[in-house]
Amino acid sequence: MSTMNRRNFLKIASAAAAASPFLAGASAKAAEEKHVVVIGGGVGGATFAKYLRMYAPEIKVTIIEPKKEYQRPYGSSEVIVGNVDMEEITISYDALKNKHGVNMIQDLVTEIRPDKKEVATAGGMTLTYDRLIVSPGITFDYSLIPGMQTPEAQAQIVHGWDAGNQLETLTKQLQAVPVDGTVVLVPPPNPYRCPPGPYERAGLIAQWLLNRGDKNPKVIILDPKDGFTTDVTMLQAWNRLYGMNLPKPFEKNYKPEEVATFKKYDKPGVIQWIMATEGGRVVKVDAANKIVEAEAGVFKADMITIIPPLKAGKIAIEAGLADKSGWCPVNMKTFESKIHPFIHVIGDSCIAGEMPKSGYSANSQAKVVALQVKALLNNQPLNEVVLQNTCYAKAGPNDYGMFVADVFRQNPEGVLKRAQQPRYLPFNASTAQFRLSAVYLEAWMQSFTQDIFS
């Protein structure tokens, strides 16, 4: 709240005059000024808005986002184990507004009208655009998990995969796990947001239980997949830290001499990773009794967290921007929708070749699209693209970090492919390398957030 004097009133009045043409029914005169509307104030939308304002301050940028503040999902599993609190993952939009001149509208887009190049909001606004950026994140699809379709089941077993109150639910559930209890964690099938994330969460929970003094806790991962991003590093770490044997079917991912260096234990460790070929696929869930039935058998748990299959954000699906995969096909040079022109889909919702659905990917895509939209609006040639992704994850302890790092370019067919270079810590990385990766992980939480929102 601020008090308005006459001088400010005049400023606002002239600003209103400048802004109003972007409402539907724009006058012809104002049509020369370009307007880009962004749906979603997450990593993709916020990065795009900041960078387009920086690269092309003459273009007006409006973000429409229902939430007043952003809660970052990246690194948010650390809330569950008390490494950070909710306040620490909550970020203000003030710098986007006041420093970068982004027009922030707190509202929900309910309809996209590609033929009229306008969007309508729940609050009754209609905005016209020259280019529309759709960056709505993800939705959750429980339809393929028997026993998880009811609201009751979804309230008892939560994912916490989009920050929010579910993180607090998971915190309480973890604290209620009895000594030497069992936690079952179910990662989603590909593709999904934050590929190393479910496994990092398993490690964080295992470490939390051990730190509490549990001697024989169990964290069981029931996986619909046979591998995951950072797996070769993570399994090494878990073999050292949590008494986990290397699963036989996974040995093929290492050289024989590397397999020989893994420690062997005569009983299951704290973390058990049951991959798909060993029966990890979940068949049925009894939420009320905390029982998960997988192909490998029936697991009675004290706490269950299931990250269900994911799809593109709601508005992207409703606007017909997604194909039958549930994700949005785009031209990977511009991220313009292959279905509706003048609309660019970025972040988790889009299909970006080999790029993972991660915060860094969304950030990198947003910057590329800022350059391309600037070129398109000024009738300049498009740029060849290069993108990057970096994901950090902890194995469990705070001084045990790892990463995946990739650079992406289009192949001759236009598909984004990763440069074929090493992407993980080297095999048998030293504890110093794990520790240094954890230092960078912590620093990245700050620097990455600043690159998007500051």
Q: Give residues 18-47 in contact with another protein (rule: CB under 8 A).
A: 18-20, 22
Cα–Cα distance measured from residue 422 to residue 424, given in angstroms and rounded to the nearest whole number = 6
Binding characters for another protein, 176-195, by CB under 8 A (x = yes): --------------------
Angle at 445 between CA 443 and CA 446, to 5 degrees: 70
List binders of another protein among 422-441 (CB under 8 A): 422-425, 433, 436-437, 439-440
Nearer to another protein, 318 or 451 (CB): 451
Measured CA to CA, the distance from residue 194 to residue 156 in angstroms comes to: 23
Q: Is 378 in the site for another protein (CB under 8 A)?
A: no
CB atoms closer than 10 angstroms to residue 412: 5
Q: Are strands 131-134 and 35-39 parallel, antiparallel or unpaired?
A: parallel
With CB under 8 A as the contact rule, the residue among 48, 51, 161, 242 that binds another protein is 51
Judged by beta carbon, residue 108 or residue 405, the one nearer another protein is: 405
Minimum CB separation from another protein for residue 386, in Å?
5
Q: Which of 229, 363, 395, 396 contacts another protein by CB under 8 A?
A: 363
Shortest spacing between CB 187 and another protein, in angstroms: 23
CB of 379 to another protein, least distance (A): 14
Task: Report CA-CA distances (Å) from 290 to 173, 284, 410.
Answer: 12, 11, 46
- For the CB of residue 447, give the shortest distance to another protein in the complex, in Å: 5
The reply to whether 59 sits near another protein by the rule CB under 8 A is: no
Minimum distance, C-beta of residue 389 to another protein, in the bound complex (Å): 9
Pair of tokens at residue 298? 């029936």
Q: Which stretch binds another protein (CB under 8 A): 80-88, 206-214, 276-284, 400-408?
A: 400-408
> Is 64 a binder of another protein (CB under 8 A)?
no
For another protein, the binding residue among 153, 210, 407, 415 (CB under 8 A) is: 407
Partners of 103 in the β-ladder: 62
Smallest distance, Å, CB 444 to another protein? Answer: 6
For another protein, the closer of residues 155 and 439 by Cβ is 439
Q: For residues 269 and 289, give the distance between their C-alpha atoms in angstroms, rounded to a whole number.
A: 25
Q: Which of 192, 228, 299, 448 binds another protein (CB under 8 A)?
A: 448
b/e code 413-427 from CB counts within 10 Å (16+ = b): eeebbbeeeebbbee
Residues in contact with another protein, counted by CB under 8 A, come to a total of 72
Q: Any contact of residue 383 with another protein (CB under 8 A)?
A: yes
DSSP E strand stretches across 108-189? 109-113, 118-121, 126-128, 131-134, 138-140, 182-186
- In the bound complex, what is the minimum distance in angstroms from residue 327's beta carbon to another protein? 23
Give phi and psi for 326, each to the nearest 5: 90, 0
- 322 to each of 46, 132, 345, 391, 415, how far by Cα in Å? 22, 15, 10, 26, 17
Q: Which stretch binds another protein (CB under 8 A): 179-187, 309-317, 333-341, 360-368?
A: 360-368
Tell me the H-state helices in 267-384.
Answer: 314-318, 359-377
* Residue of 414, 259, 277 lying closest to 352 (CA atoms): 414
Residue 269 φ/ψ, nearest 5 degrees: -85, -170
50 scored as a contact of another protein (CB under 8 A): yes
Query: x/- contact string, 99-118, with another protein (CB under 8 A)?
Result: xxxxxxxx------------
Question: Could you say which of 138, 304, 321, 371 contacts another protein (CB under 8 A)?
Answer: 371
Q: Which of 229, 364, 396, 416 binds another protein (CB under 8 A)?
A: 364
